[in-house]
A = this chain, B = another copy of it.
Amino acid sequence: MLVSALVTSLAINSGLCVLFFVMYSVLRKQPTNYEVYMPRVLAEGNARRGSRFKLVRLIPSPGWVMRAWKLSEEELLSSSGLDTVVFMRTITFCLKVFTFAGIIGIFVLLPVNCTGTQLHEIDFVNFSNNSLDVFTISNVNNASKRLWIHFSAVYVLTIVICCLLYYEYRYISSKRIAFFLSSKPQPHQFTILVRSIPVSVGSSVSETVESFFKEYHPTTYLSNIVIRRTSKLHALINEAKKQYKRLVHLQTGPSQQKYKRLGFFGHKVDLVDHYEKKLEDIEQSVKLEQSEVSLAEDTQAAFVSFKSRYGAAIAFHLQQSINPTHWITEQAPEPNDVYWPFFSSSFIRRWVSKLVVIVACILLTILFLIPVVVVQGLTNLSQLEIWFPFLKSILTITFVSQVITGYLPSLILQLFLKIVPWIMELLSSIQGYISHSDIEKSACNKVLWFTIWNIFFATVFSGSVLYQLSIFLDLKNIPSKLAVAVPAQASFFIAYVVTSGWTSTATELFRLIPFIFSLVARCFAKREDEELEIPSIPYHRDIPRILFFGLLGITYFFLAPLILPFLLVYLCLAYIIFRNQFINVYTPKYETAGKFWPTVHNSMIFSLILMHAIAVGIFTVKKLSLASTLILPLPVLTLLFNEYCRKRFLPIFVAYSAEVLIKKDREDQNDAEMAEFFDKLATAYQDPALMPVHYSTNTGSLNSPLLSSSEV
């Protein structure tokens, strides 16, 4: 790729970003868009839907940037929880790393690379005709002493990142503990989930649980709620909700809609009656199903609550039964975080579903490569000309060719990647996790490794999956193969950062899809009194993206430091935009109290090890074998550092220590509200599908969140 192509891509994307920013600054002030751009503010009742037209609304103002910038961490913590803080700290962590790396890269490494003559000398006269490869390490002469500068840079960056990782892990650990200590008593702190309960014939699950825990935890046991298989019920209730919505719509709508011919020649019927009857039917079957489900206790799982956090922790940590596959205990999620539909009971079935998910992930990886290969073909102009000879005349136009090489490839990739988080979430939900947070955490890991494999490695070693696998099976030659392939793709990834990174933040700000959605809804469906849904941030989409850019930055830092400024711009944009979205749009759906951080940490360690592997290969290829030998201690030390962090910090993210739990329990002893809390605790984990339903009585607003918005 030439400098000019990069400049074109830069221009297009900067233009797009500015456009999105301006449009956002205007559109966000229109009351009709409040639901898209500030649903959170709306739900909190802080926004007035003034409908009077004002001129000031049409002038873009950057006030929101200032507000996002000024938001302090404490405010963020109190308004959006610790997960959000951790998410923002991931961005600031990358910012810190790449500010440091950028200074070294641009002011030290880049000049060294440019002044090399291995590929060709830099052409200052016709600057835009330079290949981007001139700025990479490939241009440094073989066996040059200057490579020691790169060598030192690798060492320095590794040390800096490890230090930062250590301090960050420590900071977030302390935040996590402080968060727990300052939290109010919450049901999930007192509760565990017990699975694989061995039920003897003639007694119910509830009785078995009761007798077991009264026997072995007599002083701390409080109550239990047996889990029922309610996936069928959930489907019925959703159906009922849909019918109810339709009914409400009909009743409030104009009267001509209320009658409709049945069949083509049939007589007109009152649709309200019709739907009401249908709703009643569904409700009947819901009630029937509920009573049926209440009798069947085939999940052999129960939420068991205790009188103290420490009691719950003891039951969670100790193996309960002689048979380790019975009475398996797990920490309970928050009540609203429980993923009800899937409670596969048996040990074996969970295994099978896990295996199925693994196979599905592999299949997805294989199938996904097809678009990636197409994209690879598109970046290669001559290939395109061979495939589509009739395009030859168009492709010779400089601008078109620049757009194609610089912009189009990563845009296509981007579009395909948009659906991956969604698929991975689906797969994780099949895997048998019991909470939304676990599903998202697992999906987050899946998406991350998918991205690394399917974007990084598939781009670097373009070819079939089998070819890629064969590279990784030959452990000895990985570094040298990486060293040849990775620098060759530097220009692709620079373009990728600009297109995918910049555009993704801009669309995140502009919320393109919800915006279009609301526009369409307003035009066609008139003003349906739709429930105001406040979205939550999909961590499994955004964390892997940031971490992947982190990986690109770290691995290309000493190969092609030109990538760093673009990364920094991306991170700055992300910093402002996500803060703005946390103020205006997203509200947390659950609270894991920072459990996403270990994923971030592991990804950074992996990036470092990958950088070291590439460095070993590069110095060998560049005929500086002493340097490649001297790099070898670095991955070992990094892994030792990681091992230390696993020992020092990871346990804090798995469970709370006895010290903390007992301290918290003692605080509660003097709390008068605890009796009330325990009363609530006994029913906190009731499956919502088993609660009574009343839709058919028109005024009934019981248990229907729909009504809350229709009454506004």
Contacts and interface: CB of A to CB of B under 8 A. Distances in A.
Contact of A647 (B318, B325, B652, B658): B325
Interface in A20-52: none
Interface in A642-664: 644, 647-652, 655-660, 662
Contacts of A392: none
Interface stretch (A470-478, A525-533, A678-686): A470-478
A324 B648 contact: yes
B324 A177 contact: no
A354 B321 CA distance: 34
A163 interface: no
Nearest to A470: B476
A319 interface: yes
Most chain B Cβ neighbours within 10 Å, of A319, A640, A662: A319
A589 interface: no
A517 interface: no
Interface string A480-506: 000000000000000000000000000
A128 B659 CA distance: 75
B658 A319 contact: yes
A358 to B, nearest CB: 11
A672 interface: no
A317 interface: yes
A320 B658 contact: yes
Nearest to A648: B325
Most chain B Cβ neighbours within 10 Å, of A215, A323, A470: A323
Contact of A658 (B318, B470, B473): B318
A313 interface: yes
B470 A473 contact: no
A476 B473 contact: yes
Contacts of A177: 322
A107 interface: no
A667 to B, nearest CB: 14
Contacts of A650: 324
A632 interface: no
A662 B216 contact: yes
Nearest to A319: B657
A119 interface: no
Nearest to A475: B473
A322 B660 contact: yes
A394 interface: no
A445 B247 CA distance: 71
B474 A324 contact: no
Contacts of A323: 648
Given A474-B475, A474-B476, A322 B659 contact: yes
Contacts of A658: 216, 315, 318-320
Contacts of A659: 216, 320-322
A656 B658 CA distance: 20
A621 to B, nearest CB: 19
Contacts of A657: 318-322, 324
Interface of A: 177, 215-216, 313-315, 317-325, 347, 351, 470, 473-476, 640, 644, 647-652, 655-660, 662
18 contacts: A177-B322, A313-B318, A314-B318, A315-B658, A317-B318, A318-B657, A319-B656, A319-B657, A321-B659, A322-B652, A322-B657, A324-B651, A324-B652, A325-B648, A470-B476, A473-B475, A474-B474, A474-B476
Given A317-B318, A319-B658, A324-B652, 12 more contacts: A216-B658, A216-B659, A319-B655, A320-B657, A320-B659, A321-B659, A322-B652, A324-B651, A324-B657, A347-B647, A470-B476, A474-B474
